[in-house]
Amino acid sequence: MELRGAVAVVTGASSGIGAATALALHDAGATLVLHGRDTARLAELAERTGGAVVTGDLADVAAVPALAEEMLARFGRVDVLVNNAGVGWAGPFGEMTAQDVRRVVDVNLTAPIELTRALLPALRVRPAARVVFVTSIAGRTGVAGESVYSAVKAGLDGFAESLRFELAGTAVRIGVVVPGVVDTEFFARRGRPYERSSPRPVPAARVAAAVLRAAREDRADQYVPRWLRLPVLVRGVLPGVYRGLAARFGGSG
């Protein structure tokens, strides 16, 4: 897919992977619709990229259809949707409140499903269109202390895979980018910083590059870094071995 001149919506563009993806898409010649909650950061990014700003909290799922209408109205069409926005929560599951659970589920799973549903008719009439989901290795292997986050990312993976089958033969292609630990503010915001010495966090720009590949080259799955595919394969082929290694070397993020 040619990204120059394409209209691309990026959710969670205020910082981290979303901001890096917006900059990469801008460099590729795309026209941007920048979504997020931090109006000051979005305004700064819009000044750098010429993008249009749409603010909104995806935890308010009922407002997602109106949010989609505003995104579509900015340029009259959408060619690329990058479902990137997400929130984390780290700690023992028993310490989560019902409100904590609801926010993690709504922002990471319900909102991207609803936003995709709302924008899909506009995407389907384009000669070529892409929907890219930024998930997490936590959704493919499970992570201690992030049970709900792992569950919703696994759910998003399942949704993307099913939608890929459903849209086969149409102009809309589905891509999934599966990052590991990324050097962003995400870990501080989830309530527990990342303190492990290995694996080392990768720059957000590496994930953004994978998003662009997913859009340009119609790639179904990409791991960042690529070696993360190995534990997923081991888990699928030798689940007992995988669980033993995870228990020994630590399965917490």
- What does the alpha-carbon distance between residue 121 and residue 134 come to, in Å, rounded to a whole number? 21
Q: Maximum Cα–Cα distance for the chain, whole Å? A: 53
Q: Is 143 exposed, middle or buried (0-12, 13-18, 19+ CB in 10 A)?
A: buried
Q: Cα–chain-centroid distance for residue 12? A: 8
| Packing angle, helices 111-124 and 147-166, rounded to 10 | 20
Q: How far is CA 156 from CA 3, 17, 183, 201, 241, in A?
A: 25, 17, 22, 23, 26
User: Is-catalytic flag, 149?
Assistant: yes
Q: Beta 80-83 vs 129-134: how paired, if at all?
A: parallel
149, 194, 223, 242: the catalytic one is 149
111 within 8 A of 34, measured Cβ to Cβ: no
- What does the alpha-carbon distance between residue 68 and residue 207 come to, in Å, rounded to a whole number? 24
- What does the alpha-carbon distance between residue 1 and residue 213 come to, in Å, rounded to a whole number? 10
- What does the alpha-carbon distance between residue 204 and residue 30 come to, in Å, rounded to a whole number? 19
In the chain, the DSSP E strands lie at: 7-10, 31-36, 52-55, 80-83, 129-134, 172-179, 221-224
Active site members? 149
